[in-house]
Amino acid sequence: MRQIVTLTLLLTFTLSFSQTRLDSLITQLKQQDFDKIFRVKDNIVNTQKEAIPKLIELLKDTTYIKLQNTADLIYPGADKFYGHGWIVNYDIDWVSVRAAWLLEEITFQNFGYSDLQISEEKLMNLHKQNYTSYLETGSHNIDFKNRNPRQQLIIYRLMLADRVSKWWKKEKQSWTRFNALKEALSSNDEKRQSLALNYLREDKTQCYDLTLDKYNLELKPLVIIIKESTGAEAEQAKYLLEDKENYWYKSKQK
4-42 confidence digits (pLDDT tens): 544 444 344 444 446 789 999 999 999 999 999 999 999
Phi, psi (deg, nearest 5) at residue 56: -60, -40
pLDDT at res. 200: 98
> What ranges do the domains of the chain cover?
2-171, 177-253
Closest C-alpha among 63, 62, 88, 60 to residue 74: 88
pTM: 0.83
86, containing H or E segment: strand 86-87
What is each CA distance from 180 to 49, 102, 103, 161, in whole angstroms?
Answer: 11, 14, 12, 19
The β-bridge partners of 2 are none
